[in-house]
Structure 1
Amino acid sequence: MSAGASTEPVLRGGAQQAPAYEGGVADRATGEIRILKDRCGTCVLNPAATAIPLGPGRRQEFVNKARAEENGYVVCHNTYGDEVPPGTRKAICRGFVKAYGLPPIMLMVLAMGNGHLVEVPDPMAAKQQPEEMQDWYRHWLATGEVECADCGTTVRCENLETLPDHRCTERQRARRIRS
């Protein structure tokens, strides 16, 4: 999607261009190619009701346009624009990659060892959560630690979908026995 209030996607090579380097989703100096770690909750490629609403046929139109370009991709709308946190850098839309894969040029760069994927967390996820949840989310972003809601143990985790094994059930069972 383009910057500002518009909900039009940014398509590499399309009328609204997101260059591969110099402010795009990749860094020539480090070889970093940024991709959103998980599909954001408002992804236009998400069939859920939380997807950003687009006009009739618009979703298919921008997907077709991105796929028509040999190395086309979609930039995640949560990684640019006026409302994203300062310092946020553009990343490829995870929903697009899940559906259509990485562009051939990026696959080639990765295969040659000239680049590497960097999965970045959704910078807008904290804004989309209730205020009381934003503090623990910011803490997780800064430290990689989160408190298990079931047992209260603080654990290190790479994502918020699953926690690593930390003997949660054993702790809960022990508490019930002591009670």
Structure 2
Amino acid sequence: MKTLRSALVMMVAVPLVALAGEPTPAANKQPAKASEQPAKASEADCHHPPQAQDAAPKSDWKLTRGEPIKGVPCVKLADLLAKPQEHDGKTVLIEGHVRKACERKGCWMELATAKDAKGAGLRVTFKDYGFFVPLDSAGSEARVEGVVKVADLSEDRAKHYESEGAIVPRTADGKPREVQLVASGVELRR
């Protein structure tokens, strides 16, 4: 039994000692510049394309989802939020700033009149759950075409939206109610 144990230890220990003593091929090369070394190592080790972290965002970036925008009448977002009942059930074109987007799937986004607007916005969902927007859509400018809906939300639905970072407006009696738009087409720009 003692001989078997010694043989097993030798089978494991000898290759480990041999590997530990051999210099790696990279150790024989001259070191690269410090600024080049991490980038090359991460590119070789990762299957994802490298991300340009220092690059300035493109100003001509445009993304479309769903159907092409047909050009129905454009309604100002501020007017829609002020008098949503006038537009309930109608198809409209809205332009606004994406204040927030679903951080889990991109299955909704919230439009506001300006980047720093506080208070109620317009929740945009997508027709038949047929398309989504990128998770990092917040900060984009949007053109959205779809049907307006004034919706009373369940408390569970309101809490779900709030857990994803949304601002859910409430009526005077505390019930969650919001203006929604079920989008058939979306254009995002940065």
Which of 1 and 2 has higher RCO (CA within 8 Å, sep 6+)?
Answer: 2
TM-score using structure 2 length: 0.23
Q: Which has the larger radius of gyration?
A: 2
With normalisation by structure 1, the TM-score equals: 0.24
The structure richer in strand per residue is 2
